[in-house]
Amino acid sequence: ESLTADDTEQDHVDGEKDVPVISTEDQKDKRSFENPLTKNGVVPASSNFVQNGTDTTAHEENYFDPEKEVESGLENIEVLETTNDGHIWAAFRKEISEIDPHGKVIFKQELDVVLNDIAVLGSNSIFLVESQSKTIRFLKIEAGEPVISIFDVLSPDTPEKICINTKTREIVTTVVSNKGILFFKRARTSIKRYHYSGKCIDEISPKHDGKIVFDNSLDMVSNGNGDLCIVATKGPSHFVVVFDHSVNYRFLYHGEEGKQASFRPTSVCVDCDNNILSLDSNSRSIHIINQNGNFLKIFSPFIGGPGTPKLKAICVYKEDKLLVGQDTGKIRVFKNPSLSDVTKL
């Protein structure tokens, strides 16, 4: 359910509605789509599918040694996520790949549209956000073949980022819409929540003291306590903002005290203690705060200089490791700094 111009001052839009069956032109073939979490209405994906015959069962072993690099199979990395069974998913523009716990690329798919984000439901199923087509899709590997269906079409609104809140069993996405008429249109952000079944729960404008908190979202993740942690911007400001699962404002982190102006977070993840880790692209460091917004430490193992790979995305792997995606398509592995003995600043 989209917000309308008449809802400008309304914070909350209810709507226990079913996601409709949508008929659309997709991959040069007109098909009918239904809820992707059912077995009906799916369309086989096309182009450049690669899956190797590998036993992908994760065992409790010490995979991905710290200070090592893992190949993603992509030329660059913009999004990085992990699964409970030890798999890694990476995305860059039109390509996604899956790496098994042994570091082997077992799946690679080239799509027709640029991806803005992904959310991993399991080792064989992910959500895909396509801002250009204003669509959220669902990809599932069935019998060794990728199958893609439409989860929701938000047009004329634009989905930006997505995450799965495992505590509340919800799919959450940030949305940008242009409200108003002609020259009076202005961008408005909202957060939309869905049941796993595909039903829309609500769409809420993220406000604090009556004002919209952010203009654009750069990354989003759910914490173990159900909070939503979002890397966002508002005007020239860059920050990490945290809401509870009902999108009530909790706190905002601007960076280390005295250095807020230079803080440029681009990626965020959480660990088993609900600590929040954010990647600062300016200082090539990782800021760590606890679930209440209290500053803990800064992790800076990265040496800068000409030709040094850019750091693009982070995620925690198996609680004790931190993965850092680089613009080379390689993934650096570190011991999780929130668990290691790093001097607090």
Residue 166 has pLDDT above 80, yes or no: yes
> In the structure encoding, which two tokens stand for residue 173, read together?
């996405």
Residue 118 has pLDDT above 90, yes or no: yes
> In the structure encoding, which two tokens stand for residue 236, read together?
């020239």
Residue 39 has pLDDT above 50, yes or no: no
Looking at residue 185, its pLDDT comes to: 56
The mean pLDDT value for 12-31 works out to 37
Q: How far is CA 59 from CA 56, 86, 102, 163, 334, in A?
A: 9, 8, 10, 26, 20
Say if residues 242 and 265 touch (Cβ distance below 8 Å). no
- The count of other CB atoms within 10 Å of the CB of residue 308 is 12
Rounded CA separation 103/311 (Å):
20
- In the chain, the percentage of residues whose pLDDT exceeds 70 is 76
User: pLDDT by residue (tens digit) across 197-253?
Assistant: 788 999 999 999 999 999 999 999 999 999 999 999 999 999 999 999 999 999 999
Residue of higher predicted confidence among 38 and 107:
107
Residue 54's pLDDT band (boundaries 50, 70, 90)?
A: very low
User: pLDDT by residue (tens digit) across 294-308?
Assistant: 999 999 877 777 778
Long-range CB contacts (within 8 A, 24+) of 314-317: 314/80, 314/267, 314/268, 314/269, 314/277, 314/279, 314/286, 315/80, 315/81, 315/82, 315/88, 315/269, 316/82, 316/269, 316/270, 316/271, 316/272, 316/277, 317/64, 317/82, 317/86, 317/88
User: pLDDT by residue (tens digit) across 283-341?
Assistant: 999 999 999 999 999 998 777 777 789 999 999 998 789 999 999 999 999 988 776 54
Looking at residue 62, its pLDDT comes to: 54
Residue 23's pLDDT band (boundaries 50, 70, 90)?
A: very low
* Among the ranges given (19-23, 85-89, 232-236), the one the predictor scored with the smallest mean pLDDT: 19-23
The CATH number of the domain covering residues in 10-50+63-335: 2.120.10.30
Residue 152's pLDDT band (boundaries 50, 70, 90)?
A: very high
Cis status, amide bond into 156, omega within 30 of 0: yes
Residue 274 has pLDDT above 60, yes or no: yes
- In the chain, the percentage of residues whose pLDDT exceeds 90 is 61
Contacts of 184 (CB under 8 A, 6+ apart): none
Query: Identity (one letter) of the amino acid at 108?
Result: K
* Phi, psi dihedral angles at 114 (to 5 degrees): -65, 135
Highest-pLDDT range among 42-46, 237-241, 280-284: 237-241
Looking at residue 123, its pLDDT comes to: 81
Give the start-to-end residue ranges of the domains of the chain: 10-50+63-335
Looking at residue 186, its pLDDT comes to: 66
Residue 6 has pLDDT above 70, yes or no: no
Rounded CA separation 179/334 (Å):
44
Looking at residue 143, its pLDDT comes to: 81
Looking at residue 25, its pLDDT comes to: 38
> In the structure encoding, which two tokens stand for residue 167, read together?
């505590």
Residue 256 has pLDDT above 80, yes or no: yes
What do you get for the CA distance between the two ends of the chain, in Å? Answer: 46
Residue of higher predicted confidence among 143 and 211:
211
pTM of the entire structure? 0.81
- Averaged pLDDT of the chain: 81
- The count of other CB atoms within 10 Å of the CB of residue 68 is 13
Rounded CA separation 257/73 (Å):
39
Residue 61 has pLDDT above 70, yes or no: no
